[in-house]
Amino acid sequence: MLPQQIKKDVYDVSVQDWAVRDFHGYKTERGATYNSYLIMDKKICLLDTVKAPFAEEFLNNIRKVTNLDKIDYIVINHVEPDHSGAMPLLAKVCPNAKFIITAQGKTEAIQHYGDIFDFMVVKDGDTLNLGKRTLTFATIPMLHWPDSMVTYSAYDKILFSNDAFGQHYATGRRFDDEVEKDILFYEAKKYFANILWIYAKLIGKALTKLGGLDIEMIAPSHGVIWRTYLKEILERYQSWGSGEKDGSVVIAYDSMWGGTEMLARAISSGIASRGAEVKLFKMSNTPNSTVIAELFSASAFLAGSPTLNNGIFPSMAALLTYIKGLQPGDKKAAAFGTFGWAGGAKKDMEELLTKAGLNVAEGYTCNWRPQTAEIEAAEKFGYEFAADIIKK
Ligand code: FEO
């Protein structure tokens, strides 16, 4: 069967990675897709490639539409290997294709795969005529790597957005209006939070740059294509980029013998009694990326750890290191937990929370296992903590 046309003569030659559950530390419970599009015009142009293990399947998708030696151009919007993995094979089987790429992308591609490509370097605003269509390239550095760009086809009114507007979501459906909307927007938010959050301040500038374009469809390189909820996803990106908060509190903790868990539950009860939404995650059974999806829009964060060997519990160290990398910025935070003969976890957590750029407030600890008075004190701590973060 021919690959699906998303518009006349624009074929979806993507591959679905149904089985992947870990994408460089991001747990992909719904799998992922590596999207690529083939434009059949006077000149034939492929936009992006796929992860290396899927290269043969990808070539077979393309062969159903055209011979590989007929491809004139291969646009490399971004060199991260989930999109560039098939480049070396394409260099062999598409002898007449030029690889369209930014100067930064060229450097990265040579570092990854060797100097084996026939490159055509483009810069911001450059165009490429294919016949009926002219493609325009717009650079969006750091969304997601320094090389990143998007490609716009005015003829089709399609923005080929690469990582931007993506979702890690494998599905047999290819359009936004063919899947469950709540799941789609959750996955889009989770993707933004885990992949783009650290660069969120650049989103507004990128949206302004793309704002003048007449867009009917956004075709990202992960997940489904936006055609019905275009306005909504653009508005969400604007809001996510501006760091809007929803008044909720995220608590992430782990526990050795139940004491820190008792505190987590008591603190959550105190927060809830203040009227704030609270979400509780135990890190021995929760992926970091799931917490990030919720922390992203939360107003405050509480980290709980028992002291193990004079320091932080390993699962909490992993989470806080992950959070530090994303630099969540302006949110209230505090640490809590239990300790036996020596503390240490609270100090470790506070250091990591500070390095993450969070506004660290005084936390709460207790010795060994909380008793009735300490449970009450933890409830009060949660109640007081939530006082200034409730959404007005
Ligand atoms: Fe989907 Fe930054 O790669």
Asked whether 80 lines ligand 1 (CB < 6 A), one says: yes
Question: Which residue among 48, 80, 156, 187 is the active-site one?
Answer: 80
* pLDDT tens digits, 16-38: 999 999 999 999 999 999 999 99
Mean pLDDT value across residues 38-57:
98
Angstrom CA distances, 307 to 282, 345, 367, stand at: 16, 5, 10
Active site residue 222: yes
Mean pLDDT value across residues 41-50:
98
Query: What is the DSSP pairing of strand 149-153 with strand 300-304?
Result: unpaired
Angstrom CA distances, 137 to 76, 129, 152, 234, stand at: 11, 12, 6, 19
Asked whether 261 lines ligand 1 (CB < 6 A), one says: no
Q: Which atom in ligand 1 lies closest to the alpha carbon of residue 145?
A: 2
Look at ligand 1, atom 1, and give the residue with the nearest C-alpha. 163
* pLDDT tens digits, 157-203: 999 999 999 999 999 999 999 999 999 999 999 999 999 999 988 98
* pLDDT tens digits, 326-378: 999 889 999 999 999 999 999 999 999 999 999 999 999 999 999 999 999 99
- Using the predicted structure, report yes or no on whether residue 308 has a pLDDT greater than 50: yes
- At residue 116's C-alpha, the angle toward residues 112 and 118, to 5°, is 115
Active site residue 83: no
- Using the predicted structure, report yes or no on whether residue 136 has a pLDDT greater than 70: yes
Angstrom CA distances, 300 to 276, 293, 297, 306, stand at: 10, 13, 9, 20
User: Angle 288-295/314-326 helices, nearest 10 degrees?
Assistant: 50
Contacts of 276 (CB under 8 A, 6+ apart): 247, 248, 249, 299, 386, 389, 390
Question: Which residue among 9, 34, 222, 254 is the active-site one?
Answer: 222
For 207-230, the DSSP string reads HHHHTTS--SEEEESSSPBBSSSH
For 275-307, b/e burial (b = at least 16 CB within 10 A) is ebbbebbbbeebbbbbbbbbbbbbbbbbbbbbb
Across the chain, mean pLDDT equals 96
Active site residue 144: yes
**Token digits of residue 185:** 């927007």
Q: Which atom in ligand 1 lies closest to the alpha carbon of residue 162?
A: 1
- Measured distance CA(364)–CA(305) in Å, rounded: 11
* pLDDT tens digits, 191-237: 999 999 999 889 888 888 888 899 999 999 999 999 999 999 999 99
- Please report which confidence band the pLDDT of residue 137 belongs to, taking 50, 70 and 90 as the band edges: very high
Question: Which residue among 12, 41, 48, 163 is the active-site one?
Answer: 163
Comparing CA positions, the residue from 308, 326, 329 lying closest to residue 317 is 308
Amino acid at 118: D
User: What is the per-residue pLDDT for 28?
Assistant: 97
Cα 258 to chain centroid, rounded:
33
Which residues on neighbouring strands pair with residue 339, listed in sequence order? 367
Question: Which residue among 9, 73, 78, 168 is the active-site one?
Answer: 78
Measured torsion, CA atoms of residues 267, 272, 278, 283, in degrees rounded to the nearest 10? 30
Mean pLDDT value across residues 294-306:
97
Active site residue 168: no
Q: Which atom in ligand 1 lies closest to the alpha carbon of residue 148?
A: 2
Active site residue 163: yes
Asked whether 147 lines ligand 1 (CB < 6 A), one says: no
Asked whether 187 lines ligand 1 (CB < 6 A), one says: no
User: What is the per-residue pLDDT for 391?
Assistant: 56
Asked whether 144 lines ligand 1 (CB < 6 A), one says: yes
- Please report which confidence band the pLDDT of residue 152 belongs to, taking 50, 70 and 90 as the band edges: very high
Asked whether 30 lines ligand 1 (CB < 6 A), one says: no
- Please report which confidence band the pLDDT of residue 296 belongs to, taking 50, 70 and 90 as the band edges: very high
Asked whether 163 lines ligand 1 (CB < 6 A), one says: yes
Active site residue 82: yes
Distance, CA 88 to ligand 1 centroid (Å)?
18
Cα 96 to chain centroid, rounded:
34
Active site residue 362: no
For 46, phi then psi, to 5°, come to: -105, 135
